[in-house]
Amino acid sequence: MVAIQEFDLPARWTSLLQDKYSEAIHNLSKLWPDTESLDVSYREVEGYDHEFAQDILAKPDLHFDAANDALQQFMLDIGAGSILPFVRIVHLPPDQVRTVSQLRAGDIDRLIAIDAVTTKISGVRPRLYTAVFECVACGHVMEIKQPNEQELIEPLECSQIEGGCGRPKRQTRFLLHQQSSHLINSQFIELQELPEQMKGGIQPERIVCIAEQDLAGRLNPGDRVKANGVLFIRSQRKGGKDTPVFDIFLRIHSLERQNIPLEEIVITEEEETEIKTIARDPEVYDMLIRSIAPSIFGMERVKESLMLQLFGGEAQVNEDGTRNRGDIHILLMGDPGVAKSQLLHYMSTISPRGRFTSGKSASAAGLTAAAVQDAAADGRWTLEAGALVLADLGLAAIDEFDKMNNADRSSMHEAMEQQTISISKAGINASLRTRCAVLAAANPTSGRFQPVSDVPFTGQINLAPPLISRFDIIWLLTDTPDETSDEKIAQHIINTRVEGSSELLVSEGTIPDPSRASAAKKSITTKDGKYTHLSRDVLRKYVAFSKRNFHPKLNDEAREKIVAYYVATRKKGGESLDSVAITARSLEALSRLAEASARIRLTDIATVADADRAIRLTETWRHELMGENFDLTTIESGKKGTVRNQEKFILDTVSLLQNESGNHADLLAVLNEAERRDIPRAKAEDIIDKLCRDGRMMRPGGYETLQVV
């Protein structure tokens, strides 16, 4: 192959742009400054001239300069010389795509593409592209290109050839003319390899990138992107000296494929046909329930809700600009040892873009986002994305949800309902998207749930009522002895241990890895050709295909069914006057569950059957949590209806006696009234003490006197 000479490049680029992109360049001149660059497809260059295309990959910097010069000349020819656009090469061949951990010395100075997720961004700053200097001694003006973002390149002498005085730098001074110089926008971006590209247990690798011109300010933390660019190196400094070891940076040349939902999962035509066959099976729901954590015995209804959470409802944008989330949030409250963490781990592995984190080891910054002062970027403040932002359009499994401290937990409110994170720190004001389903697990504070208690189950975990109310489904998993089920669970656990393979032998390579063998199977079938359950790989692809292609809406009958259930449930009161059986938030949860149910069948219409499934699941978890008299006020206040009634009665009694005496109520009289209402004396005294501690009552004249505040 004959090497292409450097002087030949501008002519080749000029002919390519004239032949293929003449119309696009005319459009660019009209759209300026909204559009500042011309996208040139590598595939089109390869079709035009194969050798020329290969040369671009080997010597990208020379080609970028030649292409920009050719485009500038074209602009002058069509009378638009005042604008300075850039050529951006996109659609690089698959053999040029790398992950961050695959970058090697051979990739330096070549044009490559990196598939990654944005984890950190700095502010956008102006940078000199070409600098204009004036010699103080003679007034001669020089223009110098600035290829390095780390240092300013000044003239060494006032060039005599160009009409200057010839004095070297030490005998004169050079003034920088900002107005005449060309400044471009510049931004530092940190990219991290995608979770699905990482090997287990390895810390994800990152690379610092520089985005310039119209590319600066386009990415937010959490965005998935294919960044095309050229790798360059800077020497690591130790003790004020350069070392022979270099840090790698990427100068981004073009950005592609930003945040297309679930695009990282590739589905072939055969797999698509298989998915459609599975969806037509009348027993598809049972099969999917069996496919979720097969090693965990039972919990069919819990697994059914997790199956619906995987598929999720459809997020809606309204005319007034408001947004209704489509993701289903589930809370698992359970005694220790009921397999909550196992379920969470499994769900984070089968969900596309799944993330697992534990509440104790995750701060608010680790879950949501943080403003970080970056020593590498001259102490500038940068934005760093947390687990919820990185799980955008996926699922975030948070174990030990109740162990987070209060400051961290408060940041979850907006992340769960509005599905955004607002950052206002260190001069950074930004809003990041967290469109992910949250699956959380929590343990009771006293070790096990106490069924006989004045405190409801939701009050026995260390979670604030406003946060609990954001969950669509709350499962109560208690560990109660039952001879029949205990025997089945015991058999299942022992069988699972017997059938498992030794981890040591698997890591040594003596025996095959059973999890990989299972993933390699397309799907698992029985002898008569029926599917029993699906492998992880097929399930992930099923979910991705469904979420990408189907956007269900409730039909009229399903709508009427849900509305009728809501109205009928609202009429039911609890055991207190201030009881509320269901709220509008639950109504949205029902429609989300029905939409998810329709998605499983690969249809755009949610029918009565889907509405029935949503209502049945909702009634199941509500009954398990609180029995027949479900009371949302109990969840929101952390007090059972009977306790609230007793408190109200004592407050009313004190208020009445206080008005009668004109000063204060007598403690003995209040206790006598309480006994008439079947409130034991000791219980009444406890309630009075609590009301006094809470500041709702006081003792103005000593222990025996009471007054309502």
- Asked if pLDDT for residue 215 goes beyond 80, the answer is yes
Q: Which of 597, 545, 526, 598 is nearest to 271 (CA)?
A: 545
User: Rounded distance, CA 120 to CA 616, Å?
Assistant: 44
Residue-wise pLDDT for 439-454, tens only, equals 988 888 777 777 766 6
Q: What pTM did the predictor assign?
A: 0.71
Q: At residue 640, does pLDDT exceed 70?
A: no
Q: Tens of pLDDT along 617-638?
A: 988 888 887 777 776 666 666 6
∠ CA 19-24-29, rounded to 5°: 120
Sole residue written with tokens 């298989």: 274
Distances in Å between the Cα of 657 and the Cα atoms of 29, 502, 598, 671, 708 are: 84, 74, 60, 12, 10
The whole-angstrom separation of Cα 256 and Cα 204 is 22
Residue with tokens 């003596």: 510
CA 433/CA 393 separation, integer angstroms: 9
Q: How many CB atoms lie within 10 A of CB 526?
A: 8
Q: Average model confidence (pLDDT) for the chain?
A: 79
Per-residue pLDDT at 1: 44
Kindly compute the dihedral angle of the four CA atoms of residues 67, 71, 77, 78, in this order, to the nearest 10 degrees. Answer: 160
321-325, 499-503, 670-674: which has the minimum mean pLDDT?
A: 499-503
Low-confidence winner among 20-29, 254-263, 294-303, 316-325 (lowest mean pLDDT): 254-263
- Give the pairing type, strands 395-399 and 354-358: parallel
With 0-12 / 13-18 / 19 or more C-beta atoms within 10 angstroms meaning exposed / middle / buried, residue 410 is middle
**pLDDT bracket for residue 528 (50, 70, 90):** low
**Distance of alpha carbon 224 from alpha carbon 192, whole angstroms:** 10
- pLDDT for 612 equals 92
For residue 114 the two structure tokens come to 């990196």
> Within 10 A of 621 (CB to CB), how many other CB atoms are there?
21
Q: What is the pLDDT of residue 329?
A: 92
CA of 86: how far to CAs of 216, 328, 704, in Å? Answer: 14, 44, 84
For residue range 230-276, list pLDDT tens digits in order: 888 888 878 778 788 888 888 888 888 655 666 667 788 888 888 88
b (16+ CB within 10 A) / e for 633-643: bbbebbbbbeb
Cα separation, 230 vs 251, in Å, equals 5
Q: Are 274 and 556 in contact (CB under 8 A)?
A: no
**Average pLDDT for residues 682-695, to the nearest whole number?**
78
Q: Give me the pLDDT at residue 594, please.
A: 92
Q: What is the share, in percent, of the chain residues with pLDDT greater than 70? A: 84
Give the model's pLDDT for residue 557. 92
pLDDT tens profile 578-609? 567 777 888 888 999 999 999 998 889 999 99
User: Residue for token digits 């022992």?
Assistant: 494
Model pLDDT, residue 389: 78
Cα–Cα distance measured from residue 159 to residue 541, given in angstroms and rounded to the nearest whole number: 65
**Whole-number percent of the chain with pLDDT over 90:** 5
Average pLDDT over residues 203-223: 82
List C-alpha distances in Å: 695 to 317, 327, 690.
44, 40, 9
H or E stretch at 475: strand 473-477
pLDDT mean over 112-120? 85
Q: Mean pLDDT, to the nearest integer, of 322-327?
A: 85
Inform me whether the pLDDT recorded for 505 exceeds 80: no
In this prediction, residue 611 has a pLDDT band, given cuts at 50, 70 and 90, of: very high
The mean pLDDT of 400-419, rounded to a whole number, is 76
Lowest mean pLDDT across 62-76, 178-192, 400-414, 548-562: 400-414
pLDDT (tens digit, 9 = 90+) per residue, 331-372?
988 888 777 888 888 888 888 778 888 766 655 556 777 777
The radius of gyration of the chain's CA atoms, rounded to the nearest angstrom, is: 33
Cβ pair 186, 211 in contact under 8 A: yes
Query: What are the structural domains of the chain?
Result: 6-91 (3.30.1640.10), 100-256 (2.40.50.140), 292-485 (3.40.50.300), 553-627 (1.10.8), 641-708 (1.10.10.10)
CB atoms within 10 A of CB 3: 10
What's the pLDDT band for 106 if we cut at 50, 70, 90? confident
Question: Of how many residues is the chain composed?
Answer: 709
Residue 404 has pLDDT above 70, yes or no: yes
286 DSSP β-pair partners: none
Q: What element of type H or E holds 237? A: strand 224-238
For 41-70, what is the mean pLDDT?
84
